[in-house]
Structure 1
């Protein structure tokens, strides 16, 4: 697998398409419980099938904890990031990696025809890069050892 040819769809096929969500009217404490239960660092904020925001550990630290808000009183709709960068299944890994690096975010919802079909994380991206590099290393080793024509 070459790094340049890896797509978001391939990453999702490998990791799964689980999506963890929360309603905008839920409180922050509910979100923290859900993130702990699912062992994730962010939840997609959904109204029905529509993505309206994302709530992450970073949002909690910067918008709730640092400002002294009570997590049982603070609503997700007030603390979420409403401007959500998204990607699509055909996007190439390198463009996703650049977007995540440039935007300083670790979670990227994946859309198909405007609907959420998955989410990839910076950890997923790093894992895919490492796997692609391992494949390249194996091919080069084989070539050097004369195993490949």
Structure 2
């Protein structure tokens, strides 16, 4: 089973997009659209202080008729950020994300941000692992050696 560190290494783009807590929600949504991502980590210096997602925007700005240009990121972000360590398995990540209804999960070690895993990254990783196992079983059944 792959680890979070292995998943991060297999991602074609490993950049984690961040924004400050005082930025406007408009700036955050604009950045998400430009980078084609569904979440931004909210950082203050080297510290992760929150996460803001498209879901936060929809539920805490649009549905409440708030202004995205006047609302600050720190007003809608989730400040209790759940994360995993690089040694956690894809299964550990899936359980945590499913149980807490998360779509994005930071990977951290010793207080340092290593990367961000999305539910899509996990699905790709699990499919890749299963494909490998199926190929190995097919070779075993047919008597072929790799």
Instruction: Give your verdict on TM over 0.5.
Output: yes
In structure 2, the residue matched to 1:97 is 94
* Mapped partners of 1:115, 1:68: distance in 2: 36
Moved over 2 A (4+): none
* Mapped partners of 1:87, 1:36: distance in 2: 26
* Mapped partners of 1:125, 1:38: distance in 2: 20
* Mapped partners of 2:135, 2:69: distance in 1: 52
* Mapped partners of 1:32, 1:121: distance in 2: 18
In structure 1, the residue matched to 2:130 is 133
In structure 2, which of residues 6, 11, 35 is the aligned counterpart of residue 10 of structure 1? 6
The reply on whether 1:52 has 2:49 as its aligned counterpart is yes
Instruction: Return 5+ residue gaps in structure 2 as ranges.
Output: none
* Mapped partners of 2:31, 2:105: distance in 1: 18
Matched position secondary structure for 1:87: coil
Instruction: Return 5+ residue gaps in structure 1 as ranges.
Output: none
* Mapped partners of 2:25, 2:64: distance in 1: 13
In structure 2, the residue matched to 1:114 is 111
Q: When the two structures are aligned, how many residues end up with a matched partner? A: 145
RMSD: 1.1
Give the TM-score of the pair, scaled to structure 1: 0.94
The reply on whether 1:146 has 2:110 as its aligned counterpart is no
Give the TM-score of the pair, scaled to structure 2: 0.96
Q: Which protein has greater RCO, CA pairs closer than 8 Å, 6+ apart? A: 1
